[in-house]
Amino acid sequence: MSLAENLQYLRAREGVTQEQLAERLDVSRQSVSKWESGASFPEMDTLLKLCDMFGVDMDTLLRGSAERSLSEDSAGYDRFMTLYARKTAGGVSAIIAGAAAAALLSARGLPDMVSAAMLLLVVAVAAVVFIASGMEEDNFRKKHPTIPDFYTERQKEQFRRRYIWYIAGGVGGILMGVVLMVLAFTVLPEKEPYESYMGAVFLLIVACAVFFLVYGGMLEDKYDIAKYNRQNNPTPEDKEHRRRAVTACGVIMILATAIFLFGGLAYDKWEWAAVIYAVGGVLCGAAWLLLGPKLGE
């Protein structure tokens, strides 16, 4: 396909008229008409704007087939991002589930140092998964800095319906865990080992709920390919916001680890001190929302 054919297809796909496209590019409608008829050719800076606007690379726009490019996932983006979301959500949930397991082991009479060591092992494994997955994602972004939006509106609409249940199910699961705790202690005495048993059950419910919350949120980002492309071509302001958010998250998780070790070593409360990791994760999310790059603007 030629530039003229690709431009006609891309403009029609976005539902943009020649006048609207001309206004976005700050050119005349006649110029757009000449490009689509093959009578003239855009300047280089205009070609770059077109590539950014429609999410295609220069080679596809000039010589390839925009229609085929936008209907195929040639980079394997969907599979990679889905797997990345599962690894990240699984790692976060594993840390919370590890705290639940530590509480159960402690309630069964095992030394607190043993249950704490097991929890630290889970945290270490999760950290390895986070680091490896993060490096894989960084390499993928460098290899594929721009991805054409190949998702159809039907696919996006189907996910939006699932996304509602990911978030509602996650929040509902946490609330159900709170209700279960309240009901349990109406019939069980508030003393050990019942407190540890119910605390472990609550943390397991939270672990499952957090998996769906994190997984659903990351899948929502997966379908926002325009955001993915902007993230790979950030402005200096976006880079500074990202640096601040990453620094804040690092400080929060270091403090969470310090509180966990202090609570365990000083007060022998390893199972309850581990809850600080869940709190740290929530605070990291808040820090990213407040300090991170505002890529939607």
Convert the pLDDT of each residue in 123-157 to its tens digit: 889 989 999 998 999 899 988 888 877 887 788 89
Instruction: Say what the pLDDT of residue 297 is.
Output: 45
Per the confidence metrics, is the pTM higher than 0.75? no
Ranking 6-10, 54-58, 60-64, 233-237 by mean pLDDT, the lowest is 233-237
pLDDT digits (tens, 9 = 90+) for 148-190: 778 877 888 999 999 999 999 999 999 998 898 888 878 877 7
Question: Which secondary-structure segment (H or E) carries 91?
Answer: helix 77-107
Q: Give start-end residues of each CATH 1.10.260.40 domain in the chain.
A: 3-71
Of 102, 177, 175, 94, the residue nearest 128 (C-alpha): 94
pLDDT digits (tens, 9 = 90+) for 80-110: 999 999 999 999 999 889 888 887 887 777 7
Which CATH number applies to 3-71? Answer: 1.10.260.40
- What are the CA-CA distances from residue 184 to residues 101, 176, 202 (Å)? 19, 12, 11
| pLDDT score of 276 more than 80 | no
pLDDT digits (tens, 9 = 90+) for 213-228: 999 999 998 998 888 8
Spatial distance between the Cα atoms of 168 and 212, rounded to a whole number of angstroms: 9
Give the mean pLDDT of the chain.
83
